[in-house]
Amino acid sequence: MSVPQYRKVAALALVAGLGLSLTACSTKSDDGGTDAAGKVTITVDCQPVAAQKELLDNWNADVAEFQKQNPDIVIKSISVGQQCNNPPDFTARLAGGTTTDVFYGYMTDLQQVLDSGQAMDITSYVSKDTVATWDSVDPALKEVFTDGGKLYGVPVKNYSMGLVYNKTLFRKAGLDVDNPPKTWPEVRAAAKKISATDKSVAGYAEYSAGNTGGWHFTSLLYSQGGRVLSEDGKKAAFNTAEGKQVLQNLKDMRYGDDSMGSRQLLQWGDLLTNAAAGKVGMFIGAPDTTQAIVSQFKGRFEDWAVAPLPGQTDLAKTTLGGGEGYFFKKDLTKEQVEAGLKWIAYQKLTPGKGQFDYVRAKPQNYPVGLPQPLLFAPGSEAQKQEVELRKANANVPIENFQLFEDKQLPIVGEPRDAQAIYAILDSAMSGVLTDPNANIDTLLKTAEEKVDQLLAAGS
């Protein structure tokens, strides 16, 4: 999970409505957003908060330059808190019809947005004529925001999971930092060596609470080639040989090898705090987990590298991916939709501009060089431009991410009702990591029954 996806889990613990009243977003004018002078006004959320000074300055500079280039468009920016999508707050805004005209959401939010009746079909508006790099955007990401052949959102960020490992601890344990584990048996062997070198270190660390356990179970399951749900999304599909292998691997490391540390029930911040303190040898995550380790928990970029996600007998068969995008509120005028697409194209989808302005970001307190966002399709013109700019302006050791970038595994998105399912699967993860006598078959059977009940209730 990338930082944006951490937000999805971490936000559950935040107070709803950071810096936002539910009526603040309902700013569309009575005449459809176009004034007497012909200027089109749109409201857009996810403006950085004041505490994110450099990001806010960048955002404001982008708005000013965009409006200079497009004098007929007015962007009204709304901050909805540092996390951009606090799930309870987001749901309340959808229910109340108080979203901005162009509003931020996660890839897993499409169904909720559709159910709310707030989504606008933008299929006929989006093309390379309105978004110059549209043909370069990974088709799989477009599909995430598509339902019934209709497009409802524009992807702006993407991530995929890999193996994050501490190079310093690898060296201390006599492991090759340039040849990290490619299989789960190799992860187990490396974790055992790391912990044997220093008993205070978890050779491998894992989540098991606050929905993070279920999220990581999903990623581990994907690495085995399994799936959380059946193809039609109506039944649980994780009580399988692949699901059992996931839990068996963890049980073997936790109790067979004592290589995962005694403290369990870790949530997002817990694991990364330990990692920043040099107490974690390996864990799974997206490349920008290293950004969180450094910026939020005072670690060092030099210590951390990312490799492709391991599988059982070779590299993972598939890896978990996710991200975010922007939806358009129903009943916008043609002019407002076109203005919103122009803004998104400028701020989110143009190499050298907005989020891809690496020249601007390089001297700031913001990492340049991480292989994210994985937004453009490999080999596309936009991807080539983005990579060239990123590497030319890197301010982090890009060689630490080269293995991950060189071997992009097939990405599978999160399941429907992801957060509710993750909460259920937390129990399976916590059970196997806190009870040496836990029965894997029972843990998976219980979780399966609960997920089936959840899906039946929502169908």
The domains of the chain are located at 3-160+322-401, 162-320+411-458
Question: 162-320+411-458 falls under which CATH superfamily?
Answer: Periplasmic binding protein-like II (3.40.190.10)
Distance CA(435)–CA(226), nearest Å, equals 25
Q: Given 3.40.50.300, 3.40.190.10, 3.40.640.10, 3.20.20.70, which CATH number is that of 3-160+322-401?
A: 3.40.190.10
How many whole angstroms separate alpha carbon 175 and alpha carbon 36?
A: 69
Kindly report, residue by residue over 143-196, the tens digit of the pLDDT.
Answer: 989 999 999 999 999 999 999 999 999 999 999 999 999 999 999 999 999 999
Tokens of 271: 């694991």
What integer pLDDT is reported at residue 32 of this predicted model? 56
Measured in whole angstroms, the distance separating CA 231 from the mean position of its chain's CA atoms is 23
Rounded Cα distance, 433 and 441, in Å:
15
Distance CA 102, CA 1 (A): 24
Residue 78, φ and ψ in degrees, nearest 5: -125, 130
161 vs 183: CA distance, rounded Å: 15
> Which residue shows structure tokens 């817990």?
270
pLDDT given for residue 134 in this prediction = 98
- Encoded tokens for 19: 């810096």
Please report the pLDDT score of residue 127 as a whole number: 97
What is the tens place of the pLDDT at every residue in 230-275?
A: 999 999 999 999 999 999 999 999 999 999 999 999 998 999 999 9
Burial class (CB in 10 A: 0-12, 13-18, 19+), 198: middle
Strand 319-328 to 102-106 pairing: antiparallel
Give the predicted TM-score (pTM) of the model. 0.83
Q: Tell me, what's the pLDDT at 11?
A: 35
Residue 177: exposed, middle, or buried by beta-carbon count in 10 A (0-12, 13-18, 19+)?
Answer: middle
Task: Determine the Cα–Cα distance for residues 160 and 419; give it in Å rounded to an integer.
Answer: 18
Spatial contact of 329 and 32, defined as CB atoms under 8 Å apart: no
**In the prediction, which pLDDT does 365 show?**
78
Residues in the chain predicted with pLDDT less than 70, given as ranges, are 1-32, 459
Where would I find the H helices in 252-398? 268-276, 289-295, 334-348, 358-361, 381-392
